[in-house]
Amino acid sequence: MAVRSVRIFEEFEERTRRANVFSQTGWIKIGSAEMKAEMERNIERHRALGIEADFLSIEDLQKMIPGINPDGIGSALIEYKGGHADPTATTEGLAEVARSRGVEIVEGVAATDLEAAGGRITSVRTSEGTISTPVAVNAAGPWSPEIARWVGIDLPIEVTREQDLILETDDADLRPEYPVSNGLDRTYWRPDGRRLLAGDGHPKENEYVDANNYDSTHDASYELELMARLKHRIPRFADNARVVGGFAALYDVTPDWHPILGGVDGVDGYLNCVGWSGHGFKLGPAVGELMAEVIVDGAASSIDISMLGLDRFARGALLSSSYAGNQA
Ligand SMILES: Cc1cc2nc3c(=O)[nH]c(=O)nc-3n(C[C@H](O)[C@H](O)[C@H](O)COP(=O)(O)OP(=O)(O)OC[C@H]3O[C@@H](n4cnc5c(N)ncnc54)[C@H](O)[C@@H]3O)c2cc1C
């Protein structure tokens, strides 16, 4: 799904007429010496899928991230086609194309119930009235378990609170150019215009919250602690940076940290598109195509998504991977 999504991001301007949405800088992962074997396995898997990825030496890393502290870095890789995208422009760009093809997008309206008869979806009730439909896609992220319960479906999803800081320096040249997942100090950062967005990586203690009642600001203690880790690893930037913002948002986490996609036995027309577990943005464009295939053709054809069904949890067929959340 990520490979397919990167191709869609590469064609984003052509498809949507929106320029500079995707910055294909490459994506860097940093780890300890113990993490090297797992990185090697991932590089092999990537190459088997036609994705270019390589180990980086400390010298490479120092050229790419000037001033990086090499202490403890025992492994690093780059995945060349990755990068970062502006989430608002991505969403708006895709929405505009959908509208131009006749899709009606209604904002600010809450779904309040799902109705089913004879084992299939018949309508969605909303705060603005009822819509008759044979298909309803539950894509409500952290709120998706609530919606699934309307038709008796139990989603094994928990909600975690995740904090990010927004950093700025007077000298924009100090800002690191590459998005980095730093498994060593459990941090990640990515450029955001002139700024840097930084957060806390796994493994860590998850903070489980109620999606309808959580603090969406960041904690003062989090700011101090994350800044200390950034100052240790990227002092050239972090020593000169000030925190100009921050927030807390939500992950919708499944037991294996992978999404739940597709239909459910007993409720025809109900489709899950949920449980993104903190890594759903990059997969979004491909997922849109897959859900369209399921709705129009009755099954996904471009990518096999059968292992992502809700039934995997009852069967004990959970997925495993080295995705950080999975290791927590
Ligand atoms: C701090 C942070 C960092 C992240 N970093 C990355 C990253 O680097 N890479 C990556 O790929 N992913 C990342 N993610 C994850 C990514 O943001 C999510 O996977 C993605 O946004 C999920 O999209 P979604 O559409 O499924 O859900 P959401 O974006 O949560 O959207 C769900 C929508 O449903 C609406 N809704 C809920 N209930 C109702 C209702 N009853 N009626 C109508 N509407 C309703 C909500 O208002 C909301 O707009 C990150 C997430 C966080 C929090």
Residue 325 pLDDT more than 80?
no
Q: Is residue 222 within 6 Å of ligand 1 at its C-beta?
A: no
Q: Please check whether residue 14 lies inside any domain of the structure.
A: no
Q: Is residue 192 within 6 Å of ligand 1 at its C-beta?
A: no
Q: Please check whether residue 119 lies inside any domain of the structure.
A: yes
Q: Is residue 202 within 6 Å of ligand 1 at its C-beta?
A: no
Q: Please check whether residue 139 lies inside any domain of the structure.
A: yes
Residue 61 alpha carbon to ligand 1 centre in Å = 32
What is the pLDDT confidence band of residue 328, given thresholds at 50, 70 and 90? very low
Q: What is the DSSP string of 161-187?
A: EEEEEEEE-SSGGGS--S-EEETTTTE
| Count of domains for the chain | 1
- Give residue 261's domain range: 106-157+255-327
Nearest alpha carbon, ligand 1 atom 26 = 141
Q: What CATH number should be reported for the domain holding residue 282?
A: 3.50.50.60
The model's pLDDT over 253-312, given as tens digits with 9 standing for 90+, comes to 999 999 999 999 999 999 999 999 999 999 999 999 999 999 999 999 999 999 999 999
Placement of tokens 């390589």 in the chain: 54
Q: Please check whether residue 306 lies inside any domain of the structure.
A: yes
DSSP 260: E
Q: Is residue 286 within 6 Å of ligand 1 at its C-beta?
A: no
DSSP 203: S
Q: Please check whether residue 127 lies inside any domain of the structure.
A: yes
Q: In this predicted structure, what is the pLDDT of residue 324?
A: 60
Residue 246 alpha carbon to ligand 1 centre in Å = 17
Residue 259 alpha carbon to ligand 1 centre in Å = 12
The model's pLDDT over 17-72, given as tens digits with 9 standing for 90+, comes to 999 999 999 999 999 999 999 999 999 999 999 999 999 999 999 999 999 999 99
Q: Please check whether residue 36 lies inside any domain of the structure.
A: no
SS3 label, residue 216:
coil
Tokens of 69: 């502290």
**Host H or E run for residue 9:** helix 2-10
Ligand 1 atom at minimum distance from 282 CA: 11
Contact 277, 258 (CB under 8 A): yes
Q: Please check whether residue 226 lies inside any domain of the structure.
A: no
Mean pLDDT of the chain: 96
Q: Please check whether residue 49 lies inside any domain of the structure.
A: no
